[in-house]
A and B are shown apart, each in its own frame.
Chain A
């Protein structure tokens, strides 16, 4: 499968997104071809990592690459333990969109369900 990029995931680093005079913006596209795993770390579902194992070819270093996600829960310092905010489902849904996209589609925009928007003010994605 050729490279396919899911994005952009937009993060404003906690600043006001409507401020056009002072900002700190991240717009991330993650390569989800050949992904193998969505891994949820911790019990509060804040951090989810996607690994993209590189079986073919020789990556410069390392045996896998991926993307690390942080979700910021609206109105809470920390997300509640054992709560399902739908973050894993959100990522699974979008990975499905990548896998079922046509060969002509290289960049796939993320789908944000309203239920996710209700609990998460922004998603920060950091590839590695």
Chain B
């Protein structure tokens, strides 16, 4: 049996919200002076301090620190942070702020959850935030677990990760080796469908297996807001799937599996003939 696969996502329960400011929108962000203006914000009244972390909840692959709080509506940052989804072109004007102590932690104060995390996950497993608008697509805002600690007296657990995660929205975890697989030799055909209009768009692949059996593979958050993002992301999606198929079929062993590259944040649905 030859298979292609994606990592299986599990949604973490009882995650503590670590956000200092879950979501705000900037009016302008100067990438040379690193000044961020958000007319609807009140940074001084809120208590934002230098050193706090600013990041895009849709894509935390890069982030910046607050250098100074210039006014209620203006911050100067240490550098740029991601302002689009990876591979996409639509500028996302959202940002989140988190304290440096909390920025790289995913934590719980529920003892049963803490024990479950401790017994299930280990260093090297992946954590992903669905993001503010839950538009985190494939491989965006995916972090790696650097450390995990449990305090059974306090009933808490903390997972340290390498990127800031917005924990006010669903957090997904990926355990190494835990995959969802599709048998390649039984695939009758693949239909990559993409759609967009002025306000929305999506892309998906349907893998027909014979009869009415089919797998549907898509980003968990499948709906986009712009045709540009569909055009930018769909070819990468298609290439990743077809590359995995080519690679596993060319493998010399009768049994082989290839994980689709950058498929964190994807899901597989199976529909079968009754």
Partners in one complex: yes
A residues sitting closer than 8 Å to B (CB atoms) are: 2-5, 7-8, 20-31, 52, 54, 57, 59-62, 64-67, 103-104, 106-107, 125-128
Q: Is the CB of A31 within 8 A of B187?
A: yes
Return 25 A-B CB contacts under 8 Å, by A number.
A2-B185, A5-B245, A8-B192, A20-B227, A20-B231, A21-B227, A25-B194, A26-B191, A27-B238, A28-B189, A28-B191, A28-B192, A31-B188, A31-B189, A54-B210, A57-B186, A60-B211, A60-B213, A60-B272, A61-B212, A62-B210, A62-B213, A62-B273, A65-B211, A128-B211
**How many residues does chain B have at the interface if contact means C-beta atoms less than 8 Å apart?**
32
* Residues of B close to A59: CB separation below 8 A: 186, 209-211
B245 touches A60 (CB 8 A): no
Q: Are A57 and B185 neighbours in the complex by a CB distance under 8 Å?
A: yes
Shortest distance in angstroms between B273's beta carbon and chain A's nearest beta carbon? 5
Alpha-carbon separation in the docked complex, A125 to B246 (Å): 21
Say what secondary structure dominates the interface of chain B.
mixed
Asked if B43 lies at the interface with its beta carbon under 8 angstroms from chain A, I say no
Return the CB mask of B122-140 against A: 1 if under 8 Å, else 0: 0000000000000000000
Residues of chain A lying within 8 A (CB to CB) of residue B185: 2-3, 57
**Could you tell me the distance in whole angstroms from the C-beta of A76 to the nearest C-beta in chain B?**
26
A127 and B215 alpha carbons, distance in the complex (Å) = 13
Residue pair B196, A128 in contact (C-beta under 8 Å): no
**In the complex, what residue of chain A is closest to B188 when comparing beta carbons?**
A65
Are A60's CB and B186's CB within 8 A?
Answer: yes
Provide the residues of chain B in CB contact with A22, threshold 8 Å. Answer: 196-198, 227
| A67 and B188 contacting across the interface, CB-CB below 8 Å | yes
B233-274 interface bits toward A, Cβ cutoff 8 Å, 1 = contact, 0 = none:
000001000100110011000000000000000000000110
Report chain B residues within 8 Å CB of A128: 188-189, 208, 210-211
Contact: A5 with B190, CB < 8 Å? Answer: yes
Give the docked Cα–Cα distance between A128 and B228 (Å): 31
A7 to chain B, nearest CB (A): 8
A127 touching B213, Cβ below 8 Å = no
Chain B residues near A61 (CB-CB < 8 A): 210-213, 272-273
Majority secondary structure of chain A interface residues (helix, strand, loop or mixed): strand
**B184 at the A interface (CB under 8 A):** yes
Residue among A54, A66, A128 facing the most chain B CB atoms (10 A cut-off) = A128
Complex alpha-carbon distance, A67 and B210, angstroms: 10
Q: Are B189 and A125 in contact, CB atoms less than 8 angstroms apart?
A: yes
B241 to chain A, nearest CB (A): 9
Output the least CB separation between B66 and chain A (Å). Answer: 38
Closest 4 CB pairs of A and B: A127-B189, A65-B188, A62-B211, A61-B211
Chain A residues near B196: list those with CB within 8 A: 21-23
Question: Which residues on A sit within 8 Å (CB–CB) of B187?
Answer: 3, 31
User: Is B208 touching A65 in the complex (CB atoms < 8 A)?
Assistant: yes
Report which of A23, A57, A60, A106 forms a contact with B249, defined as CB distance below 8 A.
Answer: A106
Shortest distance from the beta carbon of B239 to any chain A beta carbon, whole Å:
11
In the complex formed, the residue of B with least CB distance to A61 is B211
Which of B198, B213, B228, B246 is in CB contact (< 8 Å) with A107? Answer: B246
A106 lies within 8 A of B246 (CB) = yes
For residue A4, give the distance in angstroms from its CB to the closest CB of chain B. Answer: 8
For residue B223, give the distance in angstroms from its CB to the closest CB of chain A: 15
Question: Distance (Å) between the CB of A102 and the closest chain B CB?
Answer: 11
Q: How far is the CB of A72 from chain B (nearest CB, A)?
A: 17
CB closest residue in chain B, given A66:
B188
Closest-CB distance, B212 to chain A (whole angstroms): 7
In Å, the complex CA distance between A124 and B189 comes to 13
Measured CA separation A64–B191 after assembly (Å): 18
Expressed in whole angstroms, the Cα–Cα distance for A57 and B2 within the complex equals: 13
